[in-house]
A and B are shown apart, each in its own frame.
Chain A
């Protein structure tokens, strides 16, 4: 065993106070059809308060990525409206949206283009007008947050897939947007990489940012997010805290979208311990039950 695998990654140091503050996000009866006729979203209404952490789950093709692409103007609704602080994003220039909503793609190779890791990360904030020492500081903080400080001078394509993905995340972090949207941030990551992503999410939430993440990783979802939105066939099927969405009475709806609750939730229900979406909650419930029976 090597020492570098045993240390939990450090939480990034808190950044400057959030400016501008996180906006409220509202989807008003949003429907979206792709040009080939595929109906990806059907009448989605959703309100996300400033600073909320929201995981979006659902099977491949359920509309998750389509939904989040409406947040930064990559897609515009076929009908309905997307509002940031009450303002229809349709009238907002994409460059203005980019200052408020940062989106890290599922496939980092759709996002990376620069010849050096540091240039890749500097590109976004430079376009926001950040220069000099402030720019350097943003780049080094973002690199530090994902554990790539040693690779600042590397070519992004000399990094393995998992580190390219962390780099894409860092380049979005460097934008310091009040809303952070992550499309399957943990795929392809090993345990250490997942821990880094978790720390990034926790730090962003701690700073008051709104974090919206698409994920198939139910452990990550249950442990790192306060709200879970389950999508099926372009609609919102379930919406609530992990304790609600992964509770036994929600399993039929969950399974209808081909999702399985996390193991601690299943074990808790079988043992009559109530809703136990995470290991920590499960163990606490088990402890209460065993104290009571004594």
Chain B
């Protein structure tokens, strides 16, 4: 049980260069896999491929295999895929349907399409809105939300489908620090309580330090480093891949680099 990418290579339609070259990764139920890497290193492409949208919806050429719970995504129907795997795009505002008059209806849109009983739809909508802390937005017009609010509503819409796997492309990019912490904790809870497997692309390594079980670093379309989150995030090579280490790692490094001792009192002061 997992989303398993084996020897995946992918090239966009019309592109001369491969966007992903030989990626092996698995997203396991109940776990959070953080993906980091410089801009244009293949993170968003990885989301499209792991979620089965590339090449299905946008063409291009895929080699290797992407399996969800053992089934090859190439052979799955779109609606089966959509039910197993929820995808949040980097530009969340673009994900809102544009067809609904209220945030409530927007979040209900997916569950309604699953053919659920009305009571179940209602329960899911309030659960999803509550999970990301935006119940108060329910009566608002989705077209008139701030960037951060739109991002939270788009995330709630994906959560309301209760997919087994969540693929989230920078879900906190527009959020303030409190919103970021809220989403981070919500995702950790969703993984733990619903057993969802989460692939989380995130520039904010402090978020990954807080909730990721594993982290993989992409560089030029390939996995350059992967392993337990704490190890990868403290790896001295991280900055070389265009990734800023978490604040705690940076501070410790700066203190040591200046020839001062990294004492137990210091370690305690940043806990």
Q: Which residues of A contact B (CB under 8 A)?
A: 1-2, 5-6, 36, 58-61, 65, 106-107, 109, 160-163, 184, 187-194, 216, 218-219, 258-260, 262-264, 266-267, 270-271, 279-280, 282-283, 286-287, 290
Contacts and interface: CB of A to CB of B under 8 A. Distances in A.
A109 B91 contact: yes
B251 A263 contact: yes
Given A109-B91, A191-B239, A192-B242, A282 B147 contact: no
Given A60-B148, A216-B176, A279-B254, A189 B266 contact: no
Interface string B143-156: 01011110000000
22 contacts: A5-B38, A36-B144, A60-B176, A106-B147, A106-B174, A160-B39, A160-B40, A162-B39, A187-B174, A188-B203, A189-B203, A192-B38, A216-B180, A263-B270, A267-B251, A267-B266, A267-B269, A271-B269, A279-B254, A280-B254, A282-B251, A283-B255
Nearest to A159: B40
Interface string B170-214: 100111111110000000000000000000000100000000000
A264 B219 CA distance: 30
Given A2-B219, A36-B144, A190-B242, A283 B254 contact: yes
Contact of B220 (A2, A190, A283): A2
Nearest to A162: B39
A32 B244 CA distance: 38
Contacts of A161: 90-91
A154 to B, nearest CB: 12
Contact of A59 (B44, B178, B248): B178
What range describes how many residues of B lie at the interface? Answer: 35 or more
Contacts, number: 118
B270 A266 contact: yes
A218 to B, nearest CB: 7
B37 interface: yes
Contacts of B180: 216
A99 B224 CA distance: 46
Contacts of B254: 279-280, 282-283
B138 interface: no
A170 to B, nearest CB: 15
Contacts of B265: 271
A1 B220 CA distance: 10
Interface of B: 37-40, 44, 90-91, 93, 144, 146-149, 170, 173-180, 203, 219-220, 224, 237, 239-244, 247-248, 250-251, 254-255, 258, 260-261, 265-266, 268-270
A258 B39 contact: no
A287 B38 CA distance: 34
**7 smallest A-B Cβ distances: which pairs?**
A258-B178, A60-B148, A162-B39, A1-B240, A263-B247, A270-B269, A191-B244
A216 to B, nearest CB: 5
A286 B39 CA distance: 35
Given A60-B148, A259-B178, A191 B260 contact: no
A157 to B, nearest CB: 12
Contacts of B258: 283, 287
B59 to A, nearest CB: 16
A76 B94 CA distance: 29
Nearest to A62: B176
B250 A163 contact: no
A189 B90 CA distance: 12
A230 to B, nearest CB: 12
A259 B180 CA distance: 11
Given A60-B179, A107-B147, A192-B38, A267 B91 contact: no
Contact of A61 (B44, B146, B224, B270): B146
Contact of A60 (B38, B90, B149, B240): B149
Contact of B39 (A1, A193, A266, A283): A193
B232 to A, nearest CB: 14
B241 to A, nearest CB: 6
Contacts of B146: 60-61, 65
Contact of B241 (A5, A109, A188, A270): A5
B240 A190 contact: no
A188 B240 CA distance: 18
A190 B245 CA distance: 11
B94 to A, nearest CB: 9
Contacts of B170: 188
Contact of B175 (A189, A190, A216): A216
A262 B242 CA distance: 21
B244 A258 contact: no
Contacts of A190: 37-39, 203, 242-244
A25 to B, nearest CB: 24
Contacts of A189: 39, 203
- Which of B242, B258, B270: most chain A CB closer than 10 A? B242
Given A5-B242, A188-B39, A267-B270, 9 more contacts: A65-B146, A106-B174, A187-B174, A188-B90, A216-B176, A267-B251, A282-B254, A283-B255, A287-B260
Contacts of A283: 254-255, 258, 260
B52 to A, nearest CB: 21
Nearest to B203: A190
